[in-house]
Structure 1
Amino acid sequence: MENLKTYKFDEAFEASLDYFGGDELAARVWVNKYAMKDGLGNIYEKSPVDMHWRIANEIARIEKKYKNPLSAQDVFDLLDHFRYIVPAGSPMTGIGNNHQVASLSNCFVIGLDGDADSYGAILRIDEEQVQLMKRRGGVGHDLSHIRPKGSPVNNSALTSTGLVPFMERYSNSTREVAQDGRRGALMLSVSIKHPDSEAFIDAKMTEGKVTGANVSVKLDDEFMRDAVEDKPYIQQFPTNGKNPLIKKSISAKTLWQKIVHNAWKSAEPGVLFWDTIIRESLPDCYADLGFRTVSTNPCGEIPLCPYDSCRLLSINLYSYVVNPFTKDAYFDYELFKKHVALAQRMMDDIVDLELEKIEQIKNKIKHDPQSEEVKGTEYHLWEKIYNKSGMGRRTGVGITAEGDMIAAMGLCYGTDKATDFSVNVHKTLALSAYGSSVQMAKERGAFEIYDAKREENNPFVKRIKEADPKLYEDMTKYGRRNIACLTIAPTGTTSLMTQTTSGIEPVFMPVYKRRRKVNPNDTDVHVDFIDEVGDSYEEYIVYHRKFLTWMTINGYDTNKKYTQEEIDDLVAKSPYFKATANDVDWLMKVRMQGAIQKWVDHSISVTINLPNNVDEALVNRLYVEAWKSGCKGCTVYRDGSRSGVMVSVDKKKEEKKAVTINPDSMPCKPPQVTEVRPQELDCDVVRFQNNKEKWVAFVGLLNGYPYEIFTGLQDDDEGIVLPKTTTKGRIIKRTNEDGSHRYDFQFENKRGYKTTVEGLSEKFNPEYWNYAKLISGVLRYRMPIDHVIKLVGSLQLASESINTWKNGVERALKKYVIDGTEAEGQKCPVCGHESLVYQEGCLICKNCGASRCG
């Protein structure tokens, strides 16, 4: 690198704070996630200005290879202050960054050709998934090729275990990669035609299972018709075979009701309307040449063929509203069309940059010290991705700030008028992007397998032909530079830097403080974390720049402290009124998504956020309407349906730091103090490592609340030997003949037979036993779990072995902390703020979004 100057965190933070006009959250997000760093954490950029020049210079370097090149200044002006064009996280982090060897692609799909139903194929996919995730890629793959449970196999098992164990394998691999700041994100899909699809749909309903993956089921039109009309539906394996080995008739309505129920209860599975995806897909016009779509990326907005990938970029729609929030507001279509064409051009340049990155990755693998046998899979994987990326030159131009754009135009989100306006914007975007791709084909050459004849009956191409006959004529003459161009993806933390919402979600009202992604593994479709506001408007105006703009334009004093009544009056007058997640007509939102989908060649990632009190019938109507409206997929989230996804709070908070929790929503209810231990207690089994030794913790539960804890060695002559699948059981207190007591652990195996491990206490080192008794004592007397964890963490123990054991005990207890509990006295190791809360056993920073698990 030419510029080897490094900056301290505080230097970069202060410069970025000035860049973002005093917005601490945006400044910290940029420094933590997007400033150029090396593997040691050294920071090489002082503010987003440096980052945008880095990107602009690299794109300008590629532009010089082609006719009529853009200058670095041209590109910088589009990127500056995230005003017009916003690259997604992987391009923003990786372009021009030679300190780290990583891909620029956000999304990958993998899958093997031919018969992939073998342990060799399953393990190959597992390794490829991990190799991509370690390079910052989200991965999707389909499981429809795995034979159903009970099928004969040619090995010692005799019959197949079916899909679910492999879902857990792939999920665990994702969680393994997503440690210590690395990223892992996974989408698993299966055809509804597969005989194991019901087990797939149910897999995540068991607490703690498949926690490292999003799951979506691929629904064909026949199944949807049969479900709506209550007709039988035929499942088979292979799912697309003419002479299936297995065939069975099921009630489509019954299975559909299960999908709806599970989505209502746990926000999964998502649904992919597969016939719509394939019917509309331009790449599938080249299915026989390797572009057959098999699954989607983790957020669902990019249906992909195996070993293709996509880079993402968003256009900030709000910036094209002139005179926002006034009666004279209008959308600058001419500037928008110009910038869309340039965005498509920049995306094509980023394909070239990605091909360079893949060459760097391949070169690194070549020079790694491991043997060819060890590194061969990884090298061959990147060869396949390189070939597919260069062959199709797929891009992902999308949008952000749709909700802000609609509000700034004085329209109400979810109305017919707003939908019609939005559809016109997306139609303009599609025609401009495709016009740019055709122009690049004329100047740079079409993607190598372009064939107008193959595409002539594609519905998306027919819409282009009808809307712009000249564009269609030029496309058939010169071809197109990119096999597909458009998507609408969740913008995640980049939306915090543009001060907008993501995708086509409406803006949240200023009765909420901030909206951002908090899932520790970054795997879920864009979700919300909601803080309660303080007493003054000043406290949260920075999180709603667009609302502040509306106030300023309309003559309101933004420095005044407003009462809650005054805030409510302001809200009612604003263009955001009745545009919150709970106010929007959800059916209208689905119809809006379907209408916009007609002008998006890939797909749209959007979650329909619903209040807690909606019934399953509404989820059913939304899913059916999504199918009928032409959506390619749909996901719903009902408030409180998934622990740790969306945390709502009581608006009537009396103390600033108090957390109001509905006892009915607690994962475990604190019991009254029970002096006399019941003879039997339910028990959770938690495994951990202590000095590279495998240990197990038995957490006795009284009414779901931890009452006692035992720990011991696994797999030792004198230790505790348990099947790996054992996660629950009972601890039974026994009285020996001499009047002494012992504790036994009892569990049931898969066949329902009970096994008892006698004398847990005898399997402990006495020192560990005494510390466990201390911890069990404070649990028994109902000390809050977070305080127990703090107490355990503060113990000053004699040996290093006991200290690592202590850390394992902490991990075992964290899963019982109520989500949203503040970790008092603990500071975030990234931003230094005392703003940590527990979420699903992990500590999440409310200030900067950093997470720490384990």
Structure 2
Amino acid sequence: MENKKTYSFEEACRASLAYFDGDELAARVWVNKYALKDSYGNIFEKSPADMHWRIANEVARIEKKYKNPLSAEEVFELLDHFKYIVPAGSPMTGIGNNYQVASLSNCFVIGLDGDADSYGAIMRIDEEQVQLMKRRGGVGHDLSHLRPKGSPVNNSALTSTGLVPFMERYSNSTREVAQDGRRGALMLSVSIKHPDSEAFIDAKMTEGKITGANVSVKIDDEFMRCAIDDREYIQQFPIYSNNPKTKNAISARKLWEKIVHNAWKSAEPGVLFWDTIIRESIPDCYADLGFRTVSTNPCGEIPLCPYDSCRLLSINLYSYVVNPFTDKAYFDYELFRKHVGIAQRIMDDIVDMELEKIDLIMEKIKNDPQSDEVKSTEYHLWEKIKYKSGLGRRTGVGITAEGDMIAAMGLRYGTQEATDFSVEVHKTLALAAYRSSVTMAQERGAFAIYDTKREENNPFINRIKEADPQLYEDMAKYGRRNIACLTIAPTGTTSLMTQTTSGIEPVFMPVYKRRRKVNPNDADVHVDFVDEVGDSFEEYIVYHRKFIEWMNVNGFDTEKRYTQEEIDDLIAKSPYYKATANDVDWLMKVRMQGAIQKWVDHSISVTINLPNNVDEALVNRLYIEAWKSGCKGCTVYRDGSRSGVMISVDKKKKKSGDTDLSQQQLPPCRHPEVTEVRPKELECDVVRFQNNKEKWVAFVGLLDGYPYEIFTGLQDDEEGIVLPKTVTKGKVIKQTNEDGSHRYDFQFENKRGYKTTVEGLSEKFNPEYWNYAKLISGVLRYRMPIEHVIKLVSSLQLKSESINTWKNGVERALKKYVTDGTEAKGQKCPVCGHESLVYQEGCLICKNCGASRCG
């Protein structure tokens, strides 16, 4: 490999900061996530311009294989400054990257035919899932083929354990796989027709369970009609059998109410309207040839058949608004059509690049030192993916900046006028993408199994036929290059670099406040807040980038220090008024999604954000409206319904420290009042961890869901405690001995419902551990915030190596209970050096650069 110039992190950040016109977050996200690096962390790109030339040159290389090739300069002009065409994360990172062997695909679905609920098949799926995640892929698979709980099996267990244990297995595998500092992403789905679907729906309601997966229920039209009409619904197994082994009638309405309640309470499960997905799916016209859709990727925007994959790309809609935020604003449809055609062409080029990447992956597997027996599953997996990717040449052209486009046109997101305009844009996009795919079929050849006859009754194809008869006639004559073309993904961090709203979503907040720590003795410092430990903070305003453009166009001073009332007045005058994630017309948003879905052949990832005080009846109404409107899926997040969900902060909640007030989060339970007299019994979590290859265990006593005491030590040596691996919860009971002293017993139920007691937790561990544990338990009981307790434990100066190991274990056990979004004050990010670390699911995540550190 040639010697390339390298850049320091600071050099890349400075150049990228200039590239993004002073947007520090965009610059650091790009340097950390997308700049070309080797496995040693050497950086080979100074700014996104270098990355865009890397991608443009690779696209041009593929283009030269075909007629009428695009030049690298033409492609670069579309990519530069993320203005028009924006590849998704995996293509952006992987195209032209010779330093890592990774897939360019964002999305995969896996699944085995035949006897797919044997242990061998279940283990095979687990391994395939992990192998894909380690190469940056998000994975989905369906569990509808697994036998329901209590079904007979031909092994020593005699009966099946049902879905939930395998949900936990797949979830745990996801959490164990790191992808360039981030965890894997998994979607688990099941049909509502499955007898265990209720257990599936409830599985994530226990905090700490199935934390490595999104879960969605595949709901058919018959179930929805039965739920609305309050009729019985028949569940059976196997799901699609004409002669099922089990069959039972249930109340559809009761099960539907449970789905609604759980979604209201915890934001899951999501719902997939499966009959709509299958009815509209063009690939399912080829179901008998291996393209039967079975599940979706983790965000739900790509329904896929087993071993198919998809690469994604977004078009920045804001850039096609001419004279934005003025009364002369208009949408440049001509330029848009041209660029959509090129975007579809680039996506097809990326399919070729992916096939090359798969060849490299397979070659690497061949040359790995492991035995063929060990490597066979991974190698065969990529064989299947290569075959399916080449056969259908599926693409995922999408959009971002929908919310900003609507505002720039002077429209309000969530109104009928804005919806009608958006539908016209997406119709234009669909027709232009399909025209491009037909043109490529003429120049490059159609996908191998294209058949006009198979597709003649597909609703999406018939919409195209009605809207553009000539396009349909040409498609019937020449075929189409790609089996399916379109999607709308969340866009995530890429929207930070386009500096726009994300995907199809409205703006989260157009204006918000942040706080930064200041020295109150410095000159010209304005102290707005002093926290509980005496640190001083100054508030400053952060504007959504396109809101600044609106201000500039309309003559408002962007440098002025506005009061809250003035900010509210500014927003009220803007097209973003009543059009943010939390105050948009929710029903109109659902109807808008359904109307746009008619022109998206895959699906749309969209979230309905609701205030905390809405009731379950509204969630019910939104889900039913989504089904009736033709949406393929729907997800609802109620403000503060679970940790990890972003919430807004009103004027009465501004009492925390250095926190981004636009993304403040509430804990899963409020800190209870101090309870000095310990209750006789406390709920208890069992937290297992490993330190220096030694197995440790912590028993965390909980009062109102909040840690109240901790016991911890070695799990399985002579002085330790041996517990079944399945034990994760129980009770800690305070007992009085004959001499008046106290002990703490742990009690749990085994599989058969019998209670087992482990006596004297304080006596089972090294006495030195117990003394420190009493100290920690003391501060927990007086409700010191968990993050401060962790800081206290970390600061303990201990000479004994074993006690230091204990200390690390206590930190790890307690991190589980820190509310997601809480800042780790005084700790610096090891990557960018900023004091901007926040807790997220027991890990520390840098808000500044996105780096992650767990353990």
Q: Which amino acid aligns with 2:200?
A: F
- What are the residue-to-residue correspondences of 1:312-711 with 2, within 5 Å? 312-512=312-512, 539-541=541-543, 544-652=544-652, 657=657, 667=669, 669-672=671-674, 674=676, 677-711=678-712
State the identity %: 86
Residue 662 of structure 1 deviates from its aligned partner by 11
Shift of 1:535: 7.9
Q: How far apart are 1:794 and its partner, in Å?
A: 1.5
The farther-off stretch of 831-840 and 774-783 is 774-783
Deviation at 1:655, TM superposition (A): 6.7
2:43 pairs with 1:43: yes
Distance 2:665 2:405 in 1: 40
Provide Cα deviations, 1:675-707, integer angstroms capped at 9, x if missing partner: x54444332211111221211111223444433
Q: Match of 1:235, SS?
A: strand
Q: In the TM superposition, what is the alpha-carbon distance from 1:338 to its structure 2 partner?
A: 0.2
Deviations 1:33-77 (A, max 9, x none): 000111111111000000000000000000000001000000000
Pairwise CA distance, 1:501 = 1.2
Q: Report the CA distance between 1:763 and its aligned residue.
A: 2.0
Counterparts of residues 225-264 of structure 1 (less than 5 Å): 225-264=225-264
> Which ranges in structure 2 are unaligned for 5 or more consecutive residues?
515-536
- Which residue does the alignment assign to 2:183? 183
**CA offset digits 1:206-231 (Å, max 9, x no partner):** 11111110000011111111111111
1:561 counterpart SS class: coil
Query: Larger deviation: 738-747 or 470-479?
Result: 738-747
State the distance in 1 between where 2:654 and 2:293 align.
53
- The answer to whether the Cα contact below 8 Å between 2:645 and 2:665 also exists between their aligned partners in 1 is no
Preserved CA contact (<8 Å) 2:32 2:850: no
How far did residue 772 of structure 1 move? 2.2
SS, match of residue 158 in structure 1 = coil
| Deviation larger for 644-653 or 309-318 | 644-653
Counterpart in the other structure of 1:160: 160
Partner residue, 1:122:
122
Gapped regions of structure 1 (runs ≥ 5): 515-533
Q: Is the 8 A contact 2:648 2:664 kept in 1?
A: no
> Is 1:142 matched with 2:148?
no
Which whole-Å CA distance do the structure 1 matches of 2:59 and 2:428 have between them?
25
- Give how far 1:808 is off: 0.9
Are the equivalent residues in 2 in contact too, given 1:668–1:816 (CA < 8 A)? no
| Farther off after superposition, 195-204 or 701-710 | 701-710
- Residue pair 1:671, 1:702 contacting (<8 A) in 2 also: no
Contact 1:536 1:563 in 2 (8 A): no
Deviating more after overlay: 474-483 vs 771-780: 771-780
Matched with 2:766 is 765
- Distance verdict in 2 for CA 1:101–1:757, change over 3 Å: same
Measured in 1, the distance between the counterparts of 2:781 and 2:584 equals 47
Letter of the structure 2 residue corresponding to residue 189 of structure 1:
S
Displacement of 1:654: 6.3
Matched to 1:367, the amino acid is: N
Counterpart Cα distance in 2 of 1:478 and 1:247 = 47
Separation in 1 of the partners of 2:564 and 2:713? Answer: 55
* TM, length-normalised to structure 2: 0.94
Q: 1:703 to 1:536 in 2, by over 3 A?
A: closer
Q: Which residue of 2 aligns with 1:734?
A: 735
Equivalent-residue separation in structure 2 for 1:763 and 1:182 (angstroms):
37
Question: Size of the alignment, in residue pairs?
Answer: 831
- After TM superposition, give the deviation of residue 447 of structure 1 in Å: 0.3
Q: Name 1:747's counterpart in structure 2.
A: 748
Q: Could you tell me how far 1:590 is from its partner in structure 2?
A: 0.8
Offset at residue 317 of structure 1 (A): 0.3
* Distance in structure 2 (CA, Å) of the matches to 1:578 and 1:160: 51
CA distance in 2 between partners of 1:704 and 1:509 (Å): 32
**TM-aligned CA distance change 1:655 to 1:214, over 3 Å:** closer
Q: Contact 1:414/1:589 (CA < 8 Å) preserved in 2?
A: yes
Report the secondary structure of 2:404's partner residue. Answer: helix
- Tell me the amino acid that sits aligned with residue 495 of structure 1: S
3-state SS, counterpart of residue 436 of structure 1: helix
Tell me if the contact between 2:321 and 2:331 (Cα under 8 Å) persists in the aligned partners. yes
Structure 1 residues 227, 17: CA separation in 2 closer, same or farther (over 3 Å shift)? Answer: same
Question: Aligned pair 1:10/2:10, yes or no?
Answer: yes
Matched AA of 1:469: P
In the alignment, does 2:805 pair up with 1:829?
A: no
For 2:625, give the aligned amino acid.
E
CA distance in 1, matches of 2:599, 2:67: 29
Q: Is contact 2:643-2:668 (8 Å) kept?
A: no
User: Which residue of 2 is the match for residue 783 of structure 1?
Assistant: 784
Partners of 1:555 and 1:764 in 2: CA distance: 69
Structure 1 counterpart SS, 2:512: coil
Q: What secondary structure sits across from 1:471 in the alignment?
A: helix
Contact kept? 2:267, 2:642, Cα under 8 Å:
yes
Residues 678 and 416 (structure 1), Cα distance of their counterparts in 2 relative to 1, 3 Å cut:
closer
Residues 141-194 of structure 1 show CA distances to partners (whole Å, capped at 9, x for unaligned) of 000000100000000000000001000000000001137714300000001111
1:747: how far off?
1.7
CA distance in 2, matches of 1:655, 1:231: 50
Judged with a 3 Å threshold, the aligned counterparts in structure 2 of structure 1 residues 558 and 482 are, in CA distance, closer, same or farther, namely same
Tell me how far 1:556 sits from its aligned partner: 1.9
For residues 569-617 of structure 1, give each alpha carbon's deviation from its aligned partner in whole angstroms, at most 9, with x where no partner exists. 2211111111112322111111111111110000000011111111111
Q: Report if aligned partners of 1:134, 1:182 keep a CA contact under 8 Å in 2.
A: no
User: Hey, what does 2:812 align to over in structure 1?
Assistant: 811
| Aligned equivalents of 1:658, 1:39: Cα separation in 2 | 34
- 1: CA distance between counterparts of 2:183 and 2:783? 37
| Distance 1:2-1:626 versus aligned 2 partners, 3 A rule | same
1:622-675 per-position Cα deviation (integer Å, ceiling 9, x unaligned):
11111111111111111011112214323356678367999995525243251x
Tell me which amino acid in the other structure corresponds to 2:673. Answer: P
Larger deviation: 825-834 or 392-401?
A: 825-834
Give the distance between the partners of 1:307 and 1:837, measured in 2 at CA.
36
Letter matched to residue 60 of structure 2:
A
* CA distance in structure 1 between the aligned counterparts of 2:252 and 2:668, rounded to whole angstroms: 35
The residue number in structure 2 matching 1:524 is none
Distance across 1 between alignment mates of 2:459 and 2:704: 57
The secondary structure found in structure 1 opposite 2:827 is: coil
Question: 1 CA distance for matches of 2:96 and 2:448?
Answer: 27
Q: Which amino acid aligns with 1:765?
A: N
Structure 1 residues 602 and 212: CA distance shift in structure 2, 3 A? same
Report the 3-state secondary structure (helix = DSSP H, G, I; strand = E; otherwise coil) of the residue aligned with 1:62.
Answer: helix
Between the aligned partners of 2:606 and 2:17, the Cα distance in structure 1 is: 31
Question: Structure 1: how far apart are the matches of 2:675 and 2:183?
Answer: 42
Question: In 2, are the aligned partners of 1:134 and 1:183 still within 8 Å (CA)?
Answer: no
- Give the secondary-structure state (helix, strand or coil) at the position aligned to 2:696: strand
SS at match of 1:729: strand
| Structure 2 CA distance for aligned equivalents of residues 78 and 148 of structure 1 | 52
Return the offset for 1:788. 1.7
Q: Secondary structure at the match of 1:594?
A: helix
SS at match of 1:473: helix
| Cα deviation, residue 736, structure 1 | 3.4
Q: Measure how far apart 1:738 and its partner are.
A: 4.3
Q: Following TM superposition, by how much is the alpha carbon of 1:391 offset from its aligned partner in structure 2, in angstroms?
A: 0.4
Deviations 1:467-514 (A, max 9, x none): 111110110100000000000001000100101111211113333359
Instruction: Name the CA shift for 1:762/1:59 in 2 (closer, same or farther; >3 Å).
Output: same
Q: Is the contact between residue 299 and residue 605 of structure 1 (CA under 8 Å) also seen in structure 2?
A: yes
Contact (CA 8 Å) 1:536, 1:561: kept in 2 or not?
no
Q: How does 1:39-118 map to 2 (within 5 A)?
A: 39-118=39-118
Please tell me the residue identity of whatever aligns with 1:669: H
